[in-house]
Amino acid sequence: MKKILIIDDEITLRETVAELLIVIGFNVFEAQNGEEGLKKVQEIKPNLTICDIMMPVLDGYGFMKAHMESEFSKIPVLLLSAKVEKEDKEKGVNLGAKGYISKPFVFSELKSIVDFYIQ
């Protein structure tokens, strides 16, 4: 079963996305900030990580920087954020994110992107 890690400090959003992904057949893990996310990546070696940008302790940009410098940098990361400015998206992509999903989003959009990166 393919593994997805969701890193987001918004508990309700994180749990809702996790439940929806579980229903369609993924094994889902959760982290509440980038620092916890980095540890979980090492532990579970997910097939895909979905990461928020604005979080306490270590934000999504900090996570991306550390992730891309780690031995797990081949694991694709999708950024999920309410930050919708062009500069925010470019910064995420420049740090190595494979995609950028703006909040709020429709689950079918997220599922299509997830399916593209997990085949």
- What is the domain-level CATH number for residue 77? 3.40.50.2300
- Can you give the residue range of the structural domain that contains 48? 3-117
**pTM for the model:** 0.94
pLDDT per residue, tens digit, the chain (119 aa), is: 999 999 999 999 999 999 999 999 999 999 999 999 999 999 999 999 999 999 999 999 999 999 999 999 999 999 988 876 788 888 988 999 998 888 888 889 889 999 999 87
Number of structural domains the chain divides into:
1
Q: Tell me the three state secondary structure of residue 96.
A: coil
Question: Angle, to 10 degrees, between the axis of helix 60-68 and the axis of helix 34-44?
Answer: 40
Instruction: Give which of 47, 93, 42 is closest to 70, Cα–Cα.
Output: 42
